[in-house]
Amino acid sequence: MEPRAVIFDMDGVLIDSYHAHMEAWMRLGRKFGRPITEAQFIPTFGRRNKEIFDALWPDIPAAEVDTWGAWKEVEYRRIVTEQFPAMDGAEELLDALKAAGFGIAIGSSGPPENVDVAMHGLKRGHLFDAIVNGREVSQGKPHPEVFLKAAEKMGIAPRRCAVIEDSLAGLEAARRAGMTPIGITGTFPREQLTGHAALVVDALTELSPERIGALIDAKAGL
């Protein structure tokens, strides 16, 4: 049988970084003198910084976006390293997938420094066969580029990959990549994810290599 793989989004999937990202963006908004609300932040979660600036502050000069985006990322890493927020069941699922012979990858919109923070906090960096961060792609989710690159790095066909995502944009990217999308609630409620994923769970503890493998095989008609 052809090898199978699981590609994880990072924020909101492997690490519970939602509140850390929101706080960092809110600090940036206060620094601009343009405070934002959680309702404004929610639709942007999981997107690349440039896309978030376009949504929140489209009049910020393009030349300043990288500078302020870097400032926000430093704040995020300061917040998240104070108490690393691993998602419940993340370490156990990664260990089980590797033991079962699955390929494991990260497909994240975040910068490499954020991915490094996550790998350090999870203490599972050695398990990953591929990591793709936001600087390695030219198109953000819902474009499938990040997941297709992860599959290519692993040498595993997209149809043999499952993607675990917390956002609608990420699930759409997985679907466009021809992969099996699995949604996890938290950033979005179950009713919004249902219909966009082959399976929706409330926690990684509900997943196992057997359950994920069955979903991949079902999509392939095996």
Cα–Cα distance measured from residue 57 to residue 55, given in angstroms and rounded to the nearest whole number: 6
Fold topology of 18-82:
DNA polymerase; domain 1 (1.10.150)
Asked if 127 and 104 touch (Cβ cutoff 8 Å), the reply is yes
- Helix extents (H) in 42-129: 49-56, 62-82, 90-99, 112-122
For the chain, give every residue range classified as CATH 1.10.150.
18-82
Q: Residue type for 168, please?
A: L
pLDDT value of residue 111: 87
CATH 3.40.50.1000 domain residues, the chain: 5-16+86-219
Structure tokens at 217: 């095989």
The pLDDT score that the predictor gives to residue 7 is: 98
The CATH number fitting domain 5-16+86-219, selected from 3.40.50.1000, 3.30.365.10, 3.40.50.450, 3.30.420.40: 3.40.50.1000
The whole-number average pLDDT for the span 7-17 is 93
Whether the pTM exceeds 0.75: the reply is: yes
Is 165:174 a contact under the CB 8 Å cutoff? yes
In this predicted structure, the answer to whether residue 47 has a pLDDT above a threshold of 90 is: no
- What the block records as the tokens of 106 is 């990260």
Q: Specify the residue for token string 């420094």.
A: 113
The H helix count followed by the E strand count for the chain is: 10, 6
pLDDT tens, residue by residue, 149-185: 999 999 999 999 999 999 999 999 999 999 999 999 9
Which residues neighbour 109 within 8 Å (Cβ) at sequence distance 6 or greater?
11, 46, 47, 48, 133, 134, 140, 141, 146
pLDDT classification of 221: cutoffs 50, 70, 90: low
Amino acid 144 reads P
Under 8 Å CB-to-CB from 87, ≥6 apart: which residues?
12, 13, 14, 15, 16, 203, 204
Whether residue 222 is predicted with pLDDT greater than 90 in this model: the reply is: no
In the prediction, which pLDDT does 17 show?
85
The contacts of residue 106 (CB under 8 Å, 6+ apart) are 7, 8, 9, 10, 14, 115, 118, 128, 130, 131, 132, 133, 150
**Helix H or strand E segment including 28:** helix 18-32
Bond preceding residue 61 cis, omega within 30 of 0:
no
Q: What pLDDT shows up at residue 112? A: 92
How do residues 177-211 score in pLDDT, each as one tens digit? 999 999 999 989 999 999 999 999 999 999 999 99
- Report which of 186, 201, 205 is spatially closest to residue 45, judged by C-alpha positions: 186
